[in-house]
Amino acid sequence: MRSGLVDFHCHLDLYPDHAAAVERCERDGVFTLTVTTTPKAWPRNHELASATRHVRAALGLHPQLVAERAHEIALWEELLPQTRYVGEVGLDASPRFYKSFETQKEIFARVLSLCAIAGDKIVTTHSVRATRVVLDIIEQHMPPPRGCVVLHWFTGTAAEAKRAVDLGCYFSVNADMLNNERRAAITKLLPLDRVLTETDGPFTQTDGRPASPSDVWITVERLARLHELPPSELCATILRNLKSVLSR
């Protein structure tokens, strides 16, 4: 098992055995940011992560759940001082969730405003079919000195990627992003000093099973191939980037 890997966006509480999934990350030495979809899920995630060296729990309110759970922003605000990590938050403008898009924007703006006031938060961000609006809200509510935004599973254009870089954003990349030729071409444009790796497990697959954080090595290998670098060098770059994010 390779150690020193980074899975900056994974849903450990959605695996069949949450505690075992956390223990596996710790045993394998994979720095894992376990995101939550509702603030009610955060305390248990935080409890399990607090006993580890390698796992951190992010406080989320997923945009796909905002239609039913917008009221939970009050609990999210109450819990925010207890964590540096925020996510999964953001916007989703796909047809199934577009009815709540205006409320999503209000929630996301509130999240970033409070993170900016705190000044030290790291925010992993969903932006399905909404990259431009996500960047607009980041620009308005969370300037780079006030925290760090990591765009999870980025699907924007080359111009939006450049704008995100100019706004100080990082990007977490998974293997599925590199399976698509057009998306891989956009990913290659991302500055390597702004790139982290992720699985988004269990929503992605490895060998016909839900991907686990240690499977992020596949992303390292594919990214290394994309940039014509040895995997060891790419892995070292990802670790430097993680340290840069955490030291902000």
Is 11 labelled a binding residue? yes
126 is in an annotated binding site: yes
Does the annotation list 9 as a binding residue? yes
200 has binding-site annotation:
yes
Check whether 136 is labelled as a binding-site residue: no
46: annotated binding-site residue? Answer: no
Burial class, 50, CB count within 10 angstroms (exposed 0-12 / middle 13-18 / buried 19+): exposed
Measured between alpha carbons, how far is 39 from 91 in angstroms, rounded to an integer? 17
- Alpha-carbon gap, residue 151 to 130, rounded angstroms: 12
Residue 209 neighbours by CB distance under 10 Å: 10
* Inter-helix orientation angle 158-166/181-189, to 10°: 30
Q: Estimate the share of the chain in helix, then strand, then coil, as percent rounded to the nearest 5.
A: 55, 20, 25
- Evaluate whether 225 touches 237 at the Cβ level (below 8 Å): no
The H or E element spanning position 125 is strand 121-128
- Binding site feature residues: 9, 11, 88, 126, 152, 200
Specify binding-site residues for a divalent metal cation: 9, 11, 88, 126, 152, 200
